[in-house]
Amino acid sequence: MDNLICISMKGISKSYRHDAKTLQVLKHVNFQVGVGETCAIVGPSGSGKSTLLSIIGLLDFPDEGDYLLMGHSVANAQSDELAMLRKSEIGFVFQHYNLIARLSVLENVALPLRYRGVDRASALEQAMQMLGRVGMADRARFKSADLSGGQKQRVAIARALIGQPSLILADEPTGSLDSETAREILELLLSIQKEQRVTLLIVTHDNQVAHLMQKKIRVRGGRVEEMGASVL
């Protein structure tokens, strides 16, 4: 059944050093997320949600514990294998969009394919299709700086999904948007999530967002606990 598990964490711990002190952010964290599942990560500010997401996204590494991503053991992987896994399996969506301002919308979306060695013409063609899917085809030639927040997040979603990853990691993706735009962005993410059967993890402060996810986990005091739908 292992092939049905997207994320498996066992005994994951992570500390940061501040001057002479050690701050233990995650303490022996255990949890699993199935392939195609949606999961909200909630918890107070500073509790370690972004740290957890960085470890899941292979941007940071635990001090101890076992992390399997799509059945691949991360602890034993070489750095080039990790870079491959990150590029092929994971799409990121951030609160502040993280688009490259000097590139056009189309070029931003094509970038993950270019990093994988896809030729420019083919990458741009696929990017155009993806922009159509998120309702942004008519802005393809714009610079990202000239878009509204909601439009930037649509472009960021297209960029995250163009490589057909198995996992989307979204860190407060609606945190900078008004409530109406936030709802539209969430609906877009969830509809593409269903189409592509991609696993989706969202860090959120918004109870309504969390309620739309199948699984909810709370990070608190370094521990991760799974919650029932009514506990939030």
Ligand X SMILES: Nc1ncnc2c1ncn2[C@@H]1O[C@H](COP(=O)(O)OP(=O)(O)O)[C@@H](O)[C@H]1O
Q: Which residues bind ligand X (CB under 6 A)?
A: 16, 23, 25, 43, 45-51
Closest CB to ligand X among 31 and 142? Answer: 31
Closest CB to ligand X among 94 and 139? Answer: 94
Applying CB under 5 A, what is the total number of residues that bind Mg ion?
1
Does position 38 interact with Mg ion (CB under 5 A)? The reply is: no
Closest CB to Mg ion among 50 and 193? Answer: 50
- How many angstroms separate the CA atoms of 130 and 107, rounded? 12
By CB under 5 A, the residues from 132 to 161 that bind Mg ion are: none
CB of residue 61 to ligand X, shortest distance in Å: 12
Stretch that binds Mg ion, among 50-58, 61-69, 116-124, 174-182 (CB under 5 A): 50-58
- How many angstroms separate the CA atoms of 150 and 181, rounded? 6
Which 3 state secondary structure label does DSSP give 2? helix
- How many angstroms separate the CA atoms of 79 and 180, rounded? 41
For 56, list phi and psi in degrees, rounded to 5. -60, -40
Closest CB to ligand X among 200 and 224? Answer: 224
**Which position among 8, 47, 50, 204 is part of the footprint of Mg ion (CB under 5 A)?**
50
Q: For the purposes of burial, counting CB atoms within 10 Å of the CB of 35, is it exposed (0-12), middle (13-18) or buried (19 or more)?
A: middle
Q: Whose CA is closest to 60, among 93, 108, 122, 12?
A: 12
Q: Which does residue 16 bind out of ligand X, Mg ion, none, counting CB within 5 to 8 angstroms by kind?
A: ligand X
- How many angstroms separate the CA atoms of 84 and 81, rounded? 5
CB of residue 49 to Mg ion, shortest distance in Å: 5
Cβ(13)–Cβ(55) below 8 Å: no
Cβ(171)–Cβ(50) below 8 Å: yes
Closest CB to ligand X among 50 and 193? Answer: 50
Q: Which does residue 48 bind out of Mg ion, ligand X, none, counting CB within 5 to 8 angstroms by kind?
A: ligand X
CB of residue 200 to Mg ion, shortest distance in Å: 17
**Interface with Mg ion by CB under 5 A: which residues?**
50
